[in-house]
Structure 1
Amino acid sequence: MFRKFLTLALTAATVPLSAQTEALRALPVDPSEITPEKVEKPAAPILPPAPVVEVTPLAPGTVVLPERKPNPKSDSPAIDNLPGGEDAVRLQIFLDQSNFGPGVIDGKPGRFTVLAVDSWNEVRGHPSAELGPVLAAARKAVPSAFASAVVPEAATKWVNSGLSHNRPAQAKAKRMSYRSIAEFMAERYHTDVDFILELNGSKNTWGVKPGGTLIVPNVKPFHIEALTGQRYEADPAMSERHAVVDTKMNQVRIFEAAPAALLVEEEVETIADGPLLLKPNVAVKPNPALVASFPITPGKPQFIHYGTWKLNNSVELPVWRYDQSLLDTGKRSNNALNIPPGPNSPVGIIWNGLSRPGIGLHGTSDPETIGRARSAGCIRLANWDAIRIPTLIRPGATVEVR
């Protein structure tokens, strides 16, 4: 026993004091021996900034629209008892979000709202002019027709009040931006500047800045800042679909497959002192093959290429080749300018090119003119509608121009 104790003592004596101290420090410490000042406080977690609430729905009745009288010179197909006020905006929003575009959301149901109602009814097997079912669905789906929307910081990048109207000057610009925050917000919420002015007044509309708010239709916003210049590829389902561009009715209709589109019959209706309209002769039997319809502006009659083509490509934020000879005569020249991409480009924010060279479905710089002014030769849609094309059809799809 004495020998064992002597051995341990001698061993300890040969270890330096500093090493013994280090060994002791490595031993577990009883929690009761730790004083608060010895505890390292964990660093406060870095929290992401609180998300900005982009829109706040307004209670029904908050916005009161003036009574609107029907325009006796309107070329709209007749539907009795079209709604007014909030219900009119609610109906347009519901149709828009259902991919049956009513055109500009402005509380003034016109030709394109009526055609959108016809399309919605066709899918469900209701008579074309029946309003009851679609109004009931709209009231349920869109309880708030208006919202207070924050002007995002993205407006700083996408608004240029000094954007020239001169093509050579535009060719030198970075992008074909919006010319005002009012225009930015109008397109973002599928309407026009006139309706933004009606809802907010001139002072608020023209004086608003990023971070401020405007009253807008309570529709899913079109986020131009989300566009990256993406090129969309073929898709097993969407490349099999069939689009019918009706240049008389000023509408593009998208079907699940080509045979379904060919079953649609149409009847001609002539309106005195007005354009020729085509109305779908809708049967009561539902037509679920119809998946979407949007207002369009076709090309000038001499430049329309009737026939059946293929969708060749679909590209966001295209550069537009400005060739005056092509616009005037339909023939390319060597004297052309490259106009940068942007919402105020004449081809808008997306190009969906057909197998016929130089022809495509694209956006526009003037959504309020859709259906009312001819384009140079292509098929124009409002930017908020045009950007939905690659979510419905992809390269390889059939596009019939009638």
Structure 2
Amino acid sequence: MAQPTPEAISDAQYSGGPLPDGQSAIAVVVQVLLDRAGISPGVIDGYRGPMSESALRAFETREGMSADGVMDQAVWEALGGPGHEPVMQSYTITEEDAAGLSDTLPEDYAELAELDQLGYTSVAEKLAERFHMDEGFLRDLNSGASFAPGETITVAAPGADVSAEVARIEVRKDVTRVAAFDASGRMVANYPATVGSGQLPSPSGTHEVTAVAIDPTYTYDPDKNFKQGDNDKVLVLPPGPNGPVGSVWIDLSKPTYGIHGTSEPDSLFQSQSHGCVRLTNWDANELAQMVGQGVTVEFVGGDS
């Protein structure tokens, strides 16, 4: 199947049935509509993959539908598909977009600890995160673009962040998603996540948010968490979206555990965390604006 073009995405029509296998223009449309509905598909990339299917199930659950994760006419209508606003938009790159970038970052924590920031390493990476997109998809969509200031490119139009006051969070380990609820019990947002691993599982039971840090530093302590490479001493890594906890840390009452961002948003369903709950940076930022100290965080389902 051909790579979706901006024109194909603009012209895409839902004609019934499941989303096509692989990558498609209509899948891009559905991912953007899910994002606008507060049900994050993770990275917008046009693929009918596990993250998109889990987002469809979350949306169906919230809307009281049969939660099979399969696109159908009822879901299309509930998403506002008929007559939806354009899901793509033009964006002109600014000088600010090209400022404050980091050079290629080493993997070794001791080397990272010597830097001033762990920033984006390219304009494309920065804009992909801003518009909730997979970086490769952004580049493919703008084939031939140099991503230089003054250049106009095509990006997704995911819409404004969800604005609500979250009273309770569920970390759903069995489906690897995080659901946020307001005081009335309505699910206001739902995000794909990486939740623990076999060696370092996420906690169980109920805990609380104790603090929220935007653009946090990261303290590496091999005696408390995990061992990275040959590093056996405590290290403080500088802030930045490409740090181990991304651009947000939501601290939990369970010591050393938190909900945080990630430097690799496309790997959420393909990798494991060191016990914490990892979201895309943009989803973690959105959640951080809706929570405060004392919000309940309940880990449910599964053992990992």
What do the CA deviations read for 1:243-279 (whole angstroms, capped 9, x no partner)? 1111221101122359x5xxxxxxxxxxxxxxxxxxx
CA distance in 2, matches of 1:378, 1:214: 36
Listed as ranges, the gaps of 5+ residues in structure 2 are 10-15
| Corresponding letter in the other structure for 2:189 | A
Match of 1:190 among 107, 125, 132: 132
Check conservation: 1:86, 1:145, Cα contact below 8 A: no
Match of 1:374 among 255, 260, 272: 272
Match of 1:238 among 145, 149, 165: 165
Check conservation: 2:90, 2:154, Cα contact below 8 A: yes
Match of 2:181 among 255, 264, 277: 255
Q: 1:131/1:366 Cα in 2 relative to 1: closer, same or farther (>3 Å)? A: same
Match of 2:27 among 81, 84, 88: 88
Would you say 1:309 and 2:207 are equivalent positions? yes
Check conservation: 2:168, 2:183, Cα contact below 8 A: yes
What do the CA deviations read for 1:97-125 (whole angstroms, capped 9, x no partner)? 21111111011122222222222222222
Would you say 1:132 and 2:59 are equivalent positions? no
Q: Write 1 or 2 for the structure with the bigger share of helix.
A: 1
Aligned length: 281
Q: 1:382/1:141 Cα in 2 relative to 1: closer, same or farther (>3 Å)? A: farther
TM (normalized to structure 2)? 0.83
SS of the residue corresponding to residue 308 of structure 1 reads: strand
Number of the residue aligned with 2:45: 106
Number of the residue aligned with 2:197: 300
CA RMSD, aligned part only? 2.8
| Corresponding letter in the other structure for 1:132 | Q
Check conservation: 1:121, 1:134, Cα contact below 8 A: yes
Number of the residue aligned with 2:7: 63
CA distance in 1, matches of 2:109, 2:117: 12
TM (normalized to structure 1)? 0.64
Q: 1:200/1:255 Cα in 2 relative to 1: closer, same or farther (>3 Å)? A: same
Alpha-carbon distance, 1:187 to partner = 1.1
Number of the residue aligned with 2:121: 179
Between 213-222 and 190-199, the greater mean CA deviation after superposition: 213-222
| Corresponding letter in the other structure for 1:211 | G
Check conservation: 1:238, 1:397, Cα contact below 8 A: no
Q: 1:337/1:158 Cα in 2 relative to 1: closer, same or farther (>3 Å)? A: same
Would you say 1:200 and 2:98 are equivalent positions? no
Would you say 1:388 and 2:286 are equivalent positions? yes
| Corresponding letter in the other structure for 2:174 | K
CA distance in 1, matches of 2:168, 2:267: 26
1 or 2 for the larger relative contact order (CA 8 Å, sep ≥6)? Answer: 2
Q: 1:62/1:169 Cα in 2 relative to 1: closer, same or farther (>3 Å)? A: closer
Check conservation: 1:298, 1:378, Cα contact below 8 A: yes
Q: 1:156/1:62 Cα in 2 relative to 1: closer, same or farther (>3 Å)? A: closer
Number of the residue aligned with 1:24: none
Between 246-255 and 161-170, the greater mean CA deviation after superposition: 161-170
Q: 1:292/1:62 Cα in 2 relative to 1: closer, same or farther (>3 Å)? A: closer
- Taking the TM superposition and a 5 Å limit, the aligned residue runs for 1:14-29 are none
| Greater Rg by CA | 1
- Taking the TM superposition and a 5 Å limit, the aligned residue runs for 1:112-151 are 112-129=51-68, 131-136=72-77, 137-140=79-82, 142-151=84-93
CA distance in 2, matches of 1:141, 1:378: 40
